[in-house]
Structure 1
Amino acid sequence: MCVGGSIVYDRERRWRASPLKKRHQRKRRSGFQEAQRNLRSQQLRKAPEYEVMAKPRLSSIDGKLAEEFAIPSHINEVGEKMSAFAVHHAAAGQRVVLITSGGTKVPLESRTVRFLDNFSSGRRGASSAEYFLDAGYAVIFLHRHRSLYPYTRTFSTVNMLDALQFSGNTGEVVVNQQVLPNITKVLKRYQEVKDSKLLLPIEFNTLSEYLHLLKTAAQALSTIGSKAMFYLAAAVSDFYIPSSEMPEHKIQSSDGPLQLSLNMVPKILSPLVKDWAPQAFVVSFKLETDATILIEKARRALETYRHQVVVANVLDSRRCYVVVVTPETQAELTLTEEDVRSEIEIEERIVSTLTSAHDKFITQ
């Protein structure tokens, strides 16, 4: 019989078939193969001439994602938004960068009460988004729910009620610009970005949501080829509990000490580079606590995944020192004390270095 376009044979019955039946089977197979060839020819003739971008391929991780990580209910809707955003801005001559930002939450129960998390605030991703926008990129901002956000991050430590004053005479609410310095400049720039529809925010919460949304984003951006950049600044969990092994209800402390067996999270960078968006410019991050192994680990990542750039940084100095590592070069980016006093951010220099590298990547 025919299943999914291929013929399935019963090995024992095949050897017992009569010569007449064998000839009939060969004739059927020949007719089926001829029909396949005709169909492929028709598809090639109908294919539009402008389709030059590589289509995303399936990888061995695709099945694992579907089986072990819950698929967000809104994934198709979000995918359509990202595709339309990428195509629109690429057609207007703009490049598009996907920025991932913030940490991923790993639930311990299906109806989540307890979970594993990390310290990431999303600061690097949020600030980098602003500098990419200033450099002329359109930005898809894939960020953790309630992590720092472009422009509003500037006032993240401010109690907004302290920044507002109520006038009893007129009933107006007035902004105290001493509490919110630069609010006029920041608000003006944010509204320019919003009016131009240059920023598409997409939220995630759990590790499962992040992985599925990243895959969907990669497939959406694959349609614009080398104009796409991936800036993978999110702090992604290394361990997880498969959804099939997760208890449904809250784990009870009355059951005694808790022992967890965690699986390794699949390395999503490999299928992203090889299968989902093979023509894109991909930047990953490497954070270490031991500076002596930093460059070695960054170069090993480049050799393993065959992408373009690793931004390497050490935990204690990550806000004033990074190394941008490529297969051919490495560039140290440092902020001086004067830079820090002038409120210059290391992300401004990271983005400047990467946009220049992206220029060369597109023209090579």
Structure 2
Amino acid sequence: MSFVNAGVDAMASSLSEEFAVPAHVEEVRRVMAAFAEQHGAAGRMVVLITSGGTKVPLESRTVRFLDNFSSGRRGASSAEYFLAQGYAVIFLHRQRSLYPYTRLYTGVNLLDCLTLHPVHEGSGLVAVDQTKLPNITDVLKRYQAVKSGGLLLPVEFSTLSEYLHLLKAAAQALSSLGSKAMFYLAAAVSDFYIPPSEMPEHKIQSSNGPLQISMKMVPKILKPLVKDWAPKAFVISFKLETDPSILLERARCALDIYKHQVVVANVLDTRHGYVVIVTKDSQKELVLTEEEVQRDVEIEEKIVKNLSHAHTQFVNQKG
């Protein structure tokens, strides 16, 4: 056995030992596999999108946890654009993070948009104030078309442990699609965790004084995903930095280590209007112009168009 294979096998073993397996993971894997088989047979490509942040518990009976700022905006918006490109989408998202289509109205109090129908008030009919839900007719039509076609499969996670096991299950479920499967790993996954053996069972008491935490590095699941679980798939990871000067170096380092196809590199302060698509042989800047910003164009539309084209080329090369 090579050192690389040994490392991958050790990571897979660590995943089961260090992170509790969700009771429903096998059922979800079967549902995802059926979804992939159905759409693969219909000639569609399938993308697994991960979205939102991961919660890291500090206690076994969790009261406190570590989180990050991710709302799931990039994953939710990208799902819509992939659906518009003809993909079927498995949407592996953090519970209560932004969701495709409804994400457009997250700042709206739904009850403020509804009134009893003024003509048929006694009938229970409800009227919608469309001025408070802009473009709702078009959005609803698009959502209903996606739903009736069975093109979107949502899968929820909450904790880091759930995310890791469900991603592995998704990779196994999509492996039969070969190069027609895409992994768009937009979730903001924690780099650190507390092993169950080192985690207090009950709520940490503030009366004990200042809190000191020792955390371990989360195993890099990208390596076994690319090498073992879905080795023929088209895999995209994301690299977010706060220092622009190291962005491309870190993106190329990730490609060299994990041997996947694409890194979408972005800087925290400009992530909504500028990204760099980095591959082994190229890099391409995607930028929103002022005119596009005025028209409410989203950078995810450009990202998805670029990657959809690259995926088609990848499939054609694999034959």
TM-score when normalising by structure 2: 0.95
SS of residue paired to 1:100: strand
Q: 1:68 aligns with which of 18, 31, 36?
A: 18
Deviation at 1:253, TM superposition (A): 1.3
Q: Which residue is equivalent to 1:251?
A: 204
Q: 1:190 aligns with which of 131, 143, 163?
A: 143
Counterpart of 1:170, as a letter, is H
* Stretch moving more, 253-262 or 142-151: 253-262
Deviation at 1:223, TM superposition (A): 1.0
SS of residue paired to 1:113: coil
SS of residue paired to 1:59: helix
Counterpart of 1:181, as a letter, is P
Counterpart of 1:95, as a letter, is M
Give 1:243-322 correspondences, 5 Å limit: 243-322=196-275
Deviation at 1:299, TM superposition (A): 0.6
Deviation at 1:154, TM superposition (A): 0.6
1:279-305 CA-partner distances (Å, limit 9, x unpaired): 000000000011111111111110110
Q: 1:114 aligns with which of 49, 64, 75?
A: 64
Deviation at 1:139, TM superposition (A): 0.2
Q: Which residue is equivalent to 1:215?
A: 168
Counterpart of 1:160, as a letter, is L
Q: 2:28 aligns with which of 55, 78, 98?
A: 78
* Residues 1:348 and 2:301 are matched in the alignment: yes
Give 1:64-143 correspondences, 5 Å limit: 64-143=14-93
Q: Which residue is equivalent to 1:176?
A: 129
Q: 2:103 aligns with which of 143, 153, 170?
A: 153
Gaps of 5+ in 2: 1-7
Q: Which residue is equivalent to 2:290?
A: 337
Q: Which residue is equivalent to 1:6?
A: none
SS of residue paired to 1:162: helix
Deviation at 1:227, TM superposition (A): 0.5
For residues 258 and 140 of structure 1, what CA distance do their matches in structure 2 show? 39
Counterpart of 1:121, as a letter, is S
**Among the aligned pairs, what percent are the same residue?**
70
Q: Which residue is equivalent to 2:186?
A: 233
**Contact 1:283 1:307 (8 Å CA) reproduced:** yes
* Residues 1:323 and 2:273 are matched in the alignment: no
**Contact 1:59 1:275 (8 Å CA) reproduced:** no
Counterpart of 1:353, as a letter, is N
Deviation at 1:169, TM superposition (A): 5.4
Q: Which residue is equivalent to 1:357?
A: 310
Counterpart of 1:107, as a letter, is P
For residues 13 and 269 of structure 2, what CA distance do their matches in structure 1 show? 38
Deviation at 1:244, TM superposition (A): 2.1
For residues 170 and 117 of structure 2, what CA distance do their matches in structure 1 show? 47
For residues 200 and 256 of structure 2, what CA distance do their matches in structure 1 show? 39
Deviation at 1:246, TM superposition (A): 1.4
Q: Which residue is equivalent to 1:40?
A: none
Counterpart of 1:134, as a letter, is A
Q: Which residue is equivalent to 1:59?
A: 9
1:314-340 CA-partner distances (Å, limit 9, x unpaired): 000000000000001111000011101
For residues 256 and 279 of structure 2, what CA distance do their matches in structure 1 show? 10
Matched pairs, number: 307
Deviation at 1:168, TM superposition (A): 5.9
Deviation at 1:166, TM superposition (A): 2.1
For residues 151 and 269 of structure 2, what CA distance do their matches in structure 1 show? 33
For residues 117 and 172 of structure 2, what CA distance do their matches in structure 1 show? 52
TM-score when normalising by structure 1: 0.83
**Contact 1:321 1:334 (8 Å CA) reproduced:** yes
For residues 260 and 169 of structure 1, what CA distance do their matches in structure 2 show? 62
Q: Which residue is equivalent to 1:50?
A: none
SS of residue paired to 2:237: strand
* Stretch moving more, 205-214 or 240-249: 240-249
**Contact 1:273 1:307 (8 Å CA) reproduced:** yes
RMSD: 0.9
Deviation at 1:257, TM superposition (A): 1.6
